Amino acid sequence: MQLGKFNKMHRLPAATCTEGLRPMTDADVPRVCVALNQHLSENYAVHIEFTEDEVRHFLVPQQNVVHSWLVENESTGVVTDFISFYTLNSSVLNDPNHDTIFAAYAYYNFVQGNDQARMKLLMRDSLILAKQLNYDVFNMTEVLKHGLVKTELLFKPGDGRLAHYLYNWRLSTIQSEDIGIVLV
């Protein structure tokens, strides 16, 4: 494939398309905590139950650490959609022009009702937001519902394998899409 065709195929719009999408704030912590815990408990065999303090610590946006956005139902105030990514940069060795690859990693993400089309749009918005924040690459592990959108959003498989080892837990083999934990 020629570079021009590749770039055209992977080009992102300049703006997000999800109506009502806004950055998460500290005031959103209680509602995000309820919505996230409900999503995790209803969809994953293995998951964390977050406290409000943990949501505040792990998900409230911090520049160059974690970025989170949400959509809420205007009449009820319930958080219906949520996207987040964290930063894990890599050093570039022996290159006179670059010393760091700025990498965003998909974190906790959900849409009301697990609507696959809406999840695709929201994750595409996540890519756009990462680009706006000058990240070089966006990575996604195969846990959570990420597998629903990885092909349509043109994610390519990496060269590594992620394995979770949970000490003192008795579990049979679990598929990656049944794991509701993102290890950072």
pLDDT tens-digit readout, 154-179: 556 666 666 666 666 777 777 766 77
What's the DSSP call for residue 89? Answer: -
φ and ψ at residue 100, rounded to 5 degrees: -145, 140
pLDDT (0 to 100) of residue 154: 59
Residues 112/36, Cβ–Cβ less than 8 Å: no
Rounded Cα distance between 104 and 101, Å, is: 10
Whole-prediction pTM value? Answer: 0.84
Domains of the chain are 3-180 (3.40.630.30)
